[in-house]
Amino acid sequence: MPFMVLVLLLWLTLTNTGSSESINHVNTTNIPIQLFCGRNAPSNPLNFNENRDSSFNQLRLNLLSNRVLYGTSQDLTGGDSVFTLARCWNYLSVDECVACFDAAVSVLVSCPDGNGAYVLFDNCFVRYESFVDFYTNPHAEQDAGATQFISCGNQSASQLELTYNQTVSAFLLEIRDVTPKISNFYVASAKEITNANATVYAVAQCVESTNQTICETCMNIAYKKLDNCLPSTEGRFFDMACFVRYSETQFFNDNKITDITNVLKDNVIGNSVKVTIVASVIGGVALLLSILISCLLYRQRKKSKKTEQDVDDLEGAIRYNYKDLKLATDNFSEGNILGKGGFGEVYKAILGNKNIVAVKKLHGVHARAKTEFENEVKLISIIRHRNLLRLLGWSSEGSNLLLVLEYIPNGSLDKFLWGARKGTLDWTQRYEIIVGIAKGLAHLHDELHVKIVHRDIKSSNILLSDDFKPKIADFGLARLQREDQTHISTTGYAGTFGYTAPEYALLGVLSDKVDTYSFGVVILETISGRRSTEVVSGTDLLLENTWKLYEKKMHLNIIDEMLDLNQDEQEQVMKIIEIALLCTESPVSNRPTMSEVVLMLREGQLLGNRELTRPTNFVHNQDRRIHIGT
Ligand SMILES: *[C@@H]1O[C@H](CO)[C@@H](O)[C@H](O)[C@H]1NC(C)=O
Ligand SMILES: *[C@@H]1O[C@H](CO)[C@@H](O)[C@H](O)[C@H]1NC(C)=O
């Protein structure tokens, strides 16, 4: 062991002095591959171009000062809004990225006056538009410009074609499956071709701000197209949502290779893949060693610099120092409190780099083992979906457990339904919110490798982005509660009165249908602008009242009087109320899964052999008021 350390130290010293500086495999020649210039001129080109240029300047500054490879920036001065985006592939250094960005901008500004344009290079992609949607939905367009790009090299592999095709195809398949499951949607990997003196290098990267489904779809297409390139030694695929390239020529450096073995292990992809893993493990020992060394180096370098965040990186989430978060929240001052949730207060925090985040202080969480907390953080942090609030980092020092989350200035849905901003949401916005929540929940239930039941869906847990898209907060946290707290035997359970499915509130029976129930309640609140706990008629709460009205086919009466709906919209709302009622049915098996709900909302009707039956649990509802309280 001491000998090993000595060897490592020796290696470190050698590497540190730079005596074994390796060559850079990145091709830094920046020649545009594909350019699209928008065809419609903005209303005021002068103002628009000014905003575009200032936004690009800001973006360049962001890349350089934050040392990042992805960024957005906007300038809305004078009404001609411009939104810009830069994406460099993750194997680049920041300086290489900025060089590509500069080349891209000089090409883009030479387009004739248009309200949007983009350009693709081997190393980066830069786009600007007059609308913001393309940040999260890369395919959003207003000018029929979003296209795919595919190019196969004109050289064929010198190896036996069959072996080559099989190996590379399997390799690309691995990458297709793994990329959407990795937190930053990025893979760089290399594969030796057995019995041939050759290695194939591949990189895949989905848009950072998109969701797993969009990434998956894009990777599927990429795989199909690139598979057709074989036995060509080179292939590139680009679509607005992802970029994939493979080549026999090394185009990124060894230290940028990402470790995908864990993801491959977690997802049983097939035996053939497992065999290749074993094979590559043997061949990969040297690689691991060099990765270990670069990690050590990285640590060393980081330590010498005084930085706000520790180097620990859990699937993209960052470990923060408690004292930095204390500073950022002004010592957790009252004035910085954004809200109080079931798990503790949420504070607004301004980090050293001026980024605004939300910091959640967790109480009542059993921190018996820190690793348990960190495992949960790890699980939550790999979840990326536009309707789920993103976890950016965490801190766990002593008994202080903190989560660092996306900051959403607009606040929560309840404010817009009956709070300070009551009546500001129109029907289209409310409908989009309902659909968004459903998609977020379907993702938690059905699209991850573990099923996550939220257990506490309510209007105050739904945050609204600047463009009123919903983001579900607090998911994954219920699992951190003490065992006894999740049962009804004690005063607190994960749910909230008025939203919790009866079988969970009364008997502690947990399933994904618990969320379906609460979601149904949130639909009714969103449509009516009233709280589920409000007595709306006689002694009836919102849900009971809606049922009674439905039986008389008068359920349109619950619609928020702030809404002014036309005939078509009224029809639509009626169907959605029926979907909400189906969601809150008992027995549990009557309720649809959230994926089914998404489908029903899209179709605007109940699907399958379903009819609404009067629920039997109103009596229990009465009980609940007495036993559990708020
Ligand atoms: C680098 O990229 C440019 C433009 O794509 C290309 O023409 C050139 O051949 C590449 N150089 C190498 C060494 O691959
Ligand atoms: C393998 O290829 C490299 C360059 O492509 C060459 O330098 C080397 O001699 C080759 N080795 C064998 C055993 O053919």
- pLDDT tens-digit profile of 577-623? 999 999 999 888 889 999 999 989 988 888 776 778 776 444 334 33
Distant-in-sequence contacts of 218-226, Cβ < 8 A, 24+ apart: 218/242, 219/175, 219/176, 219/177, 219/179, 219/180, 219/244, 220/176, 221/148, 222/176, 223/172, 223/173, 223/175, 223/176, 225/148, 225/150, 226/150, 226/152, 226/172
Stretch 128-145: mean pLDDT = 79
Mutate which of 23, 24, 27 for ligand 1 pocket (most atoms within 8 A of beta carbon): 27
pLDDT at 366: 59
End-to-end Cα distance, the chain: 59
Q: Report which DSSP code applies to 334.
A: G
SS3 553: coil
pLDDT at 440: 95
Amino acid letter for position 287: L
pLDDT above 70: residue 414: yes
Closest ligand 1 atom, residue 30 Cα? 4
Fold classification of 318-406 (topology level)? Phosphorylase Kinase; domain 1 (3.30.200)
pLDDT at 13: 37
87 or 163, greater pLDDT: 87
Instruction: State the sign of the Cα–Cα–Cα–Cα dihedral 608, 509, 474, 423.
Output: positive
pLDDT above 80: residue 328: yes
State the distance from the centre of ligand 2 to the C-alpha of 288, rounded, in angstroms: 23
Closest ligand 1 atom, residue 251 Cα? 14
pLDDT at 267: 53
Stretch 463-470: mean pLDDT = 92
Q: For the purposes of burial, counting CB atoms within 10 Å of the CB of 361, is it exposed (0-12), middle (13-18) or buried (19 or more)?
A: buried
**Mind listing the pLDDT tens digit for each residue in 514-530?**
999 999 999 999 999 99
Cα 429 to Cα 469: distance, rounded to the nearest angstrom: 8
Share of the chain above pLDDT 90, in %: 44
Stretch 83-111: mean pLDDT = 95
6's enclosing H/E stretch is helix 2-16
In short, whether 29's Cβ falls inside 6 Å of ligand 1 is: yes
In short, whether 27's Cβ falls inside 6 Å of ligand 1 is: yes
Nearest bound ligand to CA 24? 1
Fold classification of 34-145 (topology level)? Killer Toxin P4; Chain A (3.30.430)
Which sequence positions are flagged as catalytic?
456
State the distance from the centre of ligand 2 to the C-alpha of 197, rounded, in angstroms: 6
In short, whether 31's Cβ falls inside 6 Å of ligand 1 is: yes
Closest ligand 1 atom, residue 27 Cα? 1
Closest ligand 1 atom, residue 31 Cα? 4
Share of the chain above pLDDT 70, in %: 81
Stretch 428-432: mean pLDDT = 95
Distances in Å between the alpha carbon of 320 and those of 275, 307, 313, 326, 400?
A: 39, 10, 10, 10, 12
pLDDT at 293: 45
State the distance from the centre of ligand 1 to the C-alpha of 629, rounded, in angstroms: 69
210 or 626, greater pLDDT: 210
pLDDT at 485: 39
Cα 163 to Cα 145: distance, rounded to the nearest angstrom: 39
Instruction: Please name the CATH architecture into which domain 152-270 falls.
Output: 2-Layer Sandwich (3.30)
pLDDT above 80: residue 481: no
User: In which residue ranges of the chain is CATH 3.30.200.20 found?
Assistant: 318-406
> How far is residue 379 CA from its own chain's centroid?
12
Q: Atom 14, ligand 1: which residue's CA is nearest?
A: 27
Alpha helices in 397-457 (DSSP H): 413-417, 427-446
Of the candidate ranges 11-20, 195-204, 283-292, 464-473, the one whose mean pLDDT is the lowest: 11-20
Question: How many Cα atoms are found within 13 Å in the side-chain-facing hemisphere of 407?
Answer: 17
Mutate which of 26, 28, 29, 151 for ligand 1 pocket (most atoms within 8 A of beta carbon): 29
User: In which residue ranges of the chain is CATH 1.10.510.10 found?
Assistant: 414-627
pLDDT at 16: 40
pLDDT above 80: residue 269: no
Q: How confident is the model at residue 305 (pLDDT cuts 50, 70, 90)?
A: very low
Q: Which token pair is 169?
A: 């195809």
Q: Atom 2, ligand 1: which residue's CA is nearest?
A: 29
Q: How confident is the model at residue 495 (pLDDT cuts 50, 70, 90)?
A: low
- Is the domain defined by 414-627 classed in CATH 1.10.510.10? yes
Cα 525 to Cα 542: distance, rounded to the nearest angstrom: 8
Question: Does residue 629 come out as left (phi exceeding 0), alpha (psi in the -120 to 50 range) or beta?
Answer: left
266's enclosing H/E stretch is helix 261-266
Strand partners, 319: 394
Mean pLDDT of the chain: 81
Q: What is the DSSP string of 284-330?
A: THHHHHHHHHHHHHHHHHHHHS--SEEEEEETTEEEE-HHHHHHHTT
Q: How many CB atoms lie within 10 A of CB 493?
A: 24
Torsion angle, CA of 268/272/274/277, rounded to 10 degrees?
-130
In short, whether 122's Cβ falls inside 6 Å of ligand 1 is: yes
Of the candidate ranges 9-18, 313-322, 451-460, the one whose mean pLDDT is the lowest: 9-18
> How far is residue 184 CA from its own chain's centroid?
9
pLDDT at 283: 42
Ranges assigned E (strand) in 324-390: 337-341, 344-350, 356-361
Stretch 527-537: mean pLDDT = 90
Stretch 243-261: mean pLDDT = 90
pLDDT above 90: residue 49: yes
pLDDT at 552: 92
pLDDT at 208: 83
Stretch 150-160: mean pLDDT = 86
With contact defined as beta carbons under 8 Å apart, do 594 and 445 qualify? yes
pLDDT above 50: residue 270: no
User: In which residue ranges of the chain is CATH 3.30.430.20 found?
Assistant: 34-145, 152-270
Q: How confident is the model at residue 371 (pLDDT cuts 50, 70, 90)?
A: confident
Nearest bound ligand to CA 248? 2
Stretch 87-107: mean pLDDT = 95
State the distance from the centre of ligand 1 to the C-alpha of 111, rounded, in angstroms: 25
With contact defined as beta carbons under 8 Å apart, do 427 and 565 qualify? yes
Cα 543 to Cα 534: distance, rounded to the nearest angstrom: 10
Cα 186 to Cα 103: distance, rounded to the nearest angstrom: 23
Stretch 94-116: mean pLDDT = 93
Q: Atom 10, ligand 1: which residue's CA is nearest?
A: 27
Cα 62 to Cα 47: distance, rounded to the nearest angstrom: 22
pLDDT at 243: 95
93 or 621, greater pLDDT: 93
pLDDT at 413: 96
pLDDT at 300: 41
Amino acid letter for position 339: G
Q: Atom 12, ligand 1: which residue's CA is nearest?
A: 27
